[in-house]
């Protein structure tokens, strides 16, 4: 602690980081060490031109002092979904895909939303889900036609695409088993994983739909 404080006061932040990071890793409940490491991370963060590095250091500093930020986070709340483009939603599905679960899968989907006149090719290959706006595949394995307004409950996790197909809200041509295969590759992850040791309060598990992530309170309340 004394050497870390000395290096911090001299402005030798990278050396101070080496010492204090090891101390915090060894003693995660040592709050004085965590506070001093937070001071070091803050100074390193201020000096970064790269926003990713700056944000990582400053997030780490906040977490060391105060723990992981509390509050509900929902990627599927009504306001978020209404502001989200279909392209962004499809990208989000790609982020949530477990590549190991998708390793042996390959298919192409045409998605059409008539009410806003948008079209997409959605392709799963090499364990990666990609999409291209404005195009359609001639030999798609599945074509889904659904209004954007009717797709929003699916994006929010309130309804399944299968139920929308069953009641006629969505029209399909081709292999509908692809929908279930895609859903089986998606995982729900906690975006508030701890960056540094001893800062996380584990949330209680919640029942989520295939497409839903959150909301989750960090204390599980």
* Contact of 100 with 124, CB cutoff 8 Å: no
The confidence score (pLDDT) of residue 196 equals 85
The confidence score (pLDDT) of residue 12 equals 97
* Contact of 144 with 109, CB cutoff 8 Å: yes
Average pLDDT over residues 145-162: 91
Query: Residue 77 — very low, low, confident or very high, per pLDDT cuts 50/70/90?
Result: low
* Contact of 77 with 155, CB cutoff 8 Å: no
* Contact of 13 with 43, CB cutoff 8 Å: yes
Given this structure, which CATH class describes domain 2-66? mainly alpha
Average pLDDT over residues 184-210: 70
For CA atoms 72, 80, 146, 182, give the dihedral sign.
negative
Given this structure, which CATH class describes domain 78-184? alpha beta
Q: Which residues of 117-146 are buried (b: 16+ CB within 10 A; e: fewer)?
A: eebbbbbbeebebebeeeeeeeebbbbbeb
Say whether pLDDT at 213 is over 50: no
Cα distance between residue 212 and residue 169, in whole Å: 20
The confidence score (pLDDT) of residue 38 equals 96
The confidence score (pLDDT) of residue 73 equals 55
Cα distance between residue 121 and residue 140, in whole Å: 8
Domain ranges of the chain: 2-66, 78-184
Could you read off the pLDDT of 26-63 as tens digits, one per residue?
Answer: 999 999 999 999 999 999 999 999 999 999 999 999 99
Which helix (H) or strand (E) segment holds residue 130: the answer is strand 128-133
- pTM exceeding the 0.75 threshold for the entire prediction: no
Question: Roughly what angle, to the nearest 10 degrees, separates helices 2-10 and 31-46?
Answer: 20
As to burial, measured by CB atoms within 10 angstroms (0-12 exposed, 13-18 middle, 19+ buried), residue 86 is buried
Cα distance between residue 5 and residue 16, in whole Å: 7
């Amino acid at each position: 602690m004394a050497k870390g404080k000395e290096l911090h006061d001299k402005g030798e932040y990278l050396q101070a980081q080496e010492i204090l990071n090891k101390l915090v890793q060894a003693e995660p409940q040592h709050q004085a060490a965590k506070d001093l490491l937070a001071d070091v991370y803050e100074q390193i963060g201020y000096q970064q031109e790269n926003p990713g590095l700056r944000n990582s250091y400053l997030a780490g500093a906040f977490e060391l002092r105060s723990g992981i930020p509390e509050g509900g986070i929902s990627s599927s709340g009504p306001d978020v979904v209404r502001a989200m483009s279909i392209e962004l939603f499809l990208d989000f599905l790609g982020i949530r895909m477990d590549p190991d679960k998708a390793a042996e899968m390959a298919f192409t989907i045409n998605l059409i939303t008539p009410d806003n006149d948008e079209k997409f090719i959605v392709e799963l290959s090499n364990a990666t889900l990609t999409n291209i706006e404005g195009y359609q595949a001639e030999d798609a394995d599945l074509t889904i036609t659904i209004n954007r307004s009717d797709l929003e409950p699916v994006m929010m996790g309130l309804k399944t695409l299968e139920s929308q197909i069953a009641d006629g809200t969505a029209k399909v041509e081709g292999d509908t088993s692809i929908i279930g295969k895609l859903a089986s590759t998606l995982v729900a992850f906690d975006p508030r994983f701890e960056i540094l040791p001893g800062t996380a309060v584990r949330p209680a598990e919640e029942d989520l739909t295939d497409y839903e992530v959150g909301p989750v309170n960090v204390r599980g309340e």
